Amino acid sequence: MRWLAALLLVAVPSFGQDMRSQESITVERIIVDARVTDAAGDPITGLTAADFKVKIDGKLSRIESLEWIPENAAARELAEVEKAPAEVNTGMDIPPPQGRLLVFFIQTDFSRVAMRAGGQMKAMAVIDDLLDGLDEDDRVAVVSFDSHLKFRLDFTSDKRQIKDAMEASMLIDEPPPPPVVPMPSIARRLDPQAMKNASSDEKALLIVANALNPIPGPKSLILLGWGLGRYTSQGVRMTPDYGPARIALESARVSVFSLDITLADSHTLSAGLGKVAGDTGGFYASMNTFPQIALDRLKRTLAGHYELEVRKPETSVKGYHSIEVTTIKRGAVVMARTSYVDRNDSPLQ
């Protein structure tokens, strides 16, 4: 009898531990950043959790909380939200950014095709308007890709440095390391050899996304480019490198906004630009005919977003999950990431 009692005492903690483990799975939550705008790109505010529907793996998911987060000074003023005072970072952790974090990823055509090189020059001529609309707390980094990934500028609010770095991306050169900046910074997480070995835009996006991952909060990557994917007899197909890049972008809470610089009303590789934007919660726009319209839409869209905390439903799917975010608001355009990957080390993604 003593032997049986001892066996029961040993078994009880194990059973309780299994129950707690099961509970941690059923209440797993996912953070989804969603931008909701009208057709012109103006944010639609005032929505509640009841106005959204979120499906994970096709199953309706419960929205635990929803918050509208204004991202620039004008949006905060309209929402009557005061900016949180800056805090002195006394530790080694990366402090939450006070303003928006934007990364310009610029494709430079190594072969110098006229419709691509000319489009890049045209984009540089009108980009000042976008930069002028940045707040003083916004931070911008610049990378470019021609034959491999090149790091041109770490996060800064200096608009002259930003413009200079963007214009320098038109050169087929090897830029020197950018000046060191305080956190948030991506310099330490960009390995020079890995950047040289990045032989495709998709590999370059993967490296940039991994560098951004430790920085808290959402980020926006503005892809000034001419195309992604490869044209085949079955149409445009994304390369094998795209899958890991997409997962890394979504995990880092990076939304891609593809601004097509090609001097053409339509072309095959624009499909790839549209796909990466749609997958990560951004949009695609051509800058060929009316570049100012594309830039104005981007400025309005980046004014704010909704942060949804969603409870994951019970599902037999493991690893890779689909996400679908919709709203009952008529005429609204919803931009949100379309998937996520399980992370065993954290219940909150």
pLDDT at position 27 is: 62
Number of domains within the chain: 2
Q: How far apart are CA 260 and CA 266, in angstroms?
A: 10
**Close Cβ partners of 34 (under 8 Å, ≥ 6 residues apart):** 52, 281, 305, 306, 307, 308, 325, 334, 335, 336
Between CA 4 and CA 8 the distance in angstroms is 6
Question: Residue 88: pLDDT band by 50, 70, 90 thresholds?
Answer: very low
Rounded to whole angstroms, the Cα distance separating 111 from 113 reads 6
Question: Does residue 257 lie within any of the structural domains?
Answer: yes
Weakest mean pLDDT among 192-201, 224-233, 301-310: 224-233
| SS3 label, residue 1 | coil
Whether the predicted pLDDT of 1 surpasses 60 = no
Please state the length of the chain: 349
Query: For residue 95, what pLDDT is reported?
Result: 60
Q: Above 90 in pLDDT, residue 318?
A: no
Residues 251 and 333 in one domain: no
Q: What are phi and psi of 66, to 5 degrees?
A: -145, 135
* Position 22 in a domain: no
Judge whether 4 lies within some domain: no
- pLDDT of the residue at 334: 97
Residues 126 and 175 in one domain: yes
The average pLDDT across 266-281 equals 94
Give the end of a domain, one of 271, 296, 321. Answer: 296
User: Is residue 92 in some structural domain?
Assistant: no
The pLDDT assigned to 82 comes to 53
Residue pLDDT, tens place only, 229-243:
888 877 788 999 999
Domain boundary among 277, 296, 315: 296
- Please check whether residue 242 lies inside any domain of the structure: yes
Q: Which residues of 169-178 are buried (b: 16+ CB within 10 A; e: fewer)?
A: bbeeeebeeb
DSSP-assigned beta bridge partners for residue 106: 144, 224
- From CA 297, how far away is CA 69, in angstroms rounded? 18
The domain that holds 248 is classified in CATH as 3.40.50.410
**Same domain, yes or no, for 219 and 315?**
no
- What's the pLDDT tens digit per position in 6-57? 433 444 444 445 544 444 444 688 999 999 999 888 999 999 999 999 999 9
How far is 253 from 343, CA to CA, in rounded Å?
14
pLDDT of 70 over the 50 cut: yes
Residue 94 has pLDDT above 70, yes or no: no
Average pLDDT of the residues in 116-127: 92
Q: Please check whether residues 41 and 184 belong to one and the same domain.
A: no
pLDDT band at 113 (very low <50, low <70, confident <90, very high): confident
| Higher pLDDT, residue 271 or 81 | 271
The reported pTM is 0.85
State the average pLDDT over residues 193-205: 96
On whether both 49 and 131 belong to a single domain, the answer is: no
Look up residue 272 and give its amino acid. Answer: G
Residue 316, pLDDT > 50, answer yes
220 with 329, same domain? no
Q: Which pair of tokens denotes residue 328?
A: 């009952």
Question: Distance of alpha carbon 235 from its chain centroid, rounded?
Answer: 26
If asked whether residues 328 and 179 sit together in one domain, one would say no
Report the pLDDT value the prediction gives residue 5, as an integer from 0 to 100.
46
Do residues 127 and 51 share a domain? no
pLDDT value, residue 92: 45
For residues 238 and 213, membership in a common domain is answered with yes
- The per-residue pLDDT for 321 is 93
- What is the model's pLDDT at position 138? 95
Q: Do residue 60 and residue 157 come from a single domain?
A: no
Q: Which pLDDT band, with edges at 50, 70 and 90, does 347 fall under?
A: very low
The secondary structure of 147-205 as a DSSP string is: SSEEEEEEEE--HHHHHHHHHHTTS-S-PPPPPP-PSS--GGG--HHHHHH--SHHHHH
Mean pLDDT in the chain? Answer: 86
